[in-house]
């Protein structure tokens, strides 16, 4: 399956067919989850209405990690198996992951103000998520830093793999250190510790975010592939127009 997708035309066809399903699924899930979260689910007995921030904050945090895992896996696929679409997938997913991380930080800050009395604390969970955000930005900056795009995508792929060390730190930071941030309450060995009326909108929102992630990554991958083809065609035109004037090696790098 993954090998069959190596053909860009086939990938484009498949992506074009899958994308609308993902996008509509995402719109439905997020819409339903928003309705459940804002209108149906109860207010918390301690936190009051502010608990509703959770329905965006927690799925955004999950997606920040899922997107990073996706970028790292795609990067490994590109470096090890040299799959032609792997680097494109990593590049397409990185800004989306960065956006989810930013959303997680902003909603966390908005939630922290009424609950903890402060917008920001330097505890292990918040700091490690901030580092994750900077890793995403470093990945994006490194991709764009070279005249030769191939060099940039490979360097960024190695950076993505180095940054994987941060993922377990984020996940377990609330267990390893005594932090203000509460420990995990949904993904626990003993089963989720929150009531189904809150769990359902949360899971539905997570599903919606995942579908949204898939849809946007597919659109961005198609756009990146087209940009790449446009660049190759422009290069070819330059070569045809002025073969003598073109400096040898300047186009190939």
Residue 137 in the binding site for another protein (CB under 8 A): yes
- Cα separation of 171 and 153, whole Å? 27
DSSP structure class, residue 38: I
Kind and range of the H or E run holding 27: helix 8-35
What is 64-131 written as a DSSP string? Answer: HHHHHHHHHHHHHHHHHS--TTHHHHHHHHHHHHHHHHHHHHHHHHHHHHHHHSSS----HHHHHHHH
Under the criterion CB under 8 A, does residue 110 sit at the interface with another protein?
Answer: no
Minimum distance of another protein from residue 252's CB (angstroms): 9
Q: Return the residue of 131, 167, 199, 203 that touches another protein, per CB under 8 A.
A: 131
Selected from 154, 201, 220, 222, the binder of another protein by CB under 8 A is: 154
Query: Residue from 138, 199, 203, 238 that binds another protein (CB under 8 A)?
Result: 138
Of the candidate spans 52-60, 61-69, 130-138, 215-223, the one that interacts with another protein by CB under 8 A turns out to be 130-138
Residue 156 or 198 with smaller CB distance to another protein: 156
Query: Please, what is the minimum distance in Å from the beta carbon of residue 161 to another protein?
Result: 7
Interacting span for another protein (CB under 8 A) from 10-18, 34-42, 128-136, 198-206? 128-136
Choices 25-33, 151-159, 197-205, 233-241 (CB under 8 A): range interacting with another protein: 151-159
247 in contact with another protein (CB under 8 A) = no
Q: Dihedral angle at the C-alpha atoms of 59, 65, 99, 42, nearest 10 degrees?
A: 10
Residue from 15, 58, 159, 207 in contact with another protein (CB under 8 A): 159
Task: With contacts defined by CB under 8 A, name the span among 21-29, 138-146, 220-228, 236-244 that binds another protein.
Answer: 138-146
Q: Using CB under 8 A, which of the segments 27-35, 135-143, 193-201, 217-225 binds another protein?
A: 135-143
135 binds another protein (CB under 8 A): yes
* H-run or E-run covering 29: helix 8-35
CA distance 226 to 224: 5
Question: What does DSSP assign to residue 182?
Answer: P
Q: Residue 59's closest CA among 227, 209, 187?
A: 209
Nearer to another protein, 161 or 203 (CB): 161
Decide: is 104 part of the binding site for another protein (CB under 8 A). no
Q: Distance between CA atoms of 211 and 107, rounded to whole angstroms?
A: 20
Residue 138 gets which letter from DSSP?
A: H
């Amino acid at each position: 399956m993954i090998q069959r997708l190596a053909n860009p035309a086939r990938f484009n066809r498949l992506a074009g067919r899958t994308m609308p399903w993902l996008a509509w699924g995402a719109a439905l899930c997020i819409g339903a989850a928003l309705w459940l979260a804002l209108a149906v689910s109860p207010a918390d007995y301690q936190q009051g209405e502010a608990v509703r921030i959770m329905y965006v904050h927690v799925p955004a945090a999950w997606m920040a990690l899922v997107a990073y895992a996706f970028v790292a896996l795609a990067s490994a696929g590109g470096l090890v198996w040299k799959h032609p679409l792997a680097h494109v997938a990593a590049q397409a997913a990185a800004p989306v992951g960065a956006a989810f991380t930013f959303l997680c930080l902003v909603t966390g800050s908005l939630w922290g103000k009424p609950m903890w009395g402060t917008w920001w604390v330097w505890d292990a969970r918040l700091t490690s998520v901030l580092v994750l955000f900077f890793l995403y930005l470093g990945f994006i900056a490194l991709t764009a830093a070279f005249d030769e795009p191939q060099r940039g995508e490979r360097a960024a792929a190695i950076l993505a793999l180095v940054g994987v060390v941060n993922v377990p730190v984020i996940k377990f930071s609330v267990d390893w250190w005594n932090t203000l941030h509460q420990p995990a309450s949904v993904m626990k060995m003993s089963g989720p510790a929150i009531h189904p009326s809150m769990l359902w909108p949360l899971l539905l929102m997570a599903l919606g975010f995942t579908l949204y992630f898939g849809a946007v990554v597919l659109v961005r991958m198609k756009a990146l592939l087209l940009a790449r083809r446009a660049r190759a065609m422009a290069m070819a035109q330059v070569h045809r127009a002025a073969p003598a004037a073109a400096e040898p090696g300047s186009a190939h790098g």
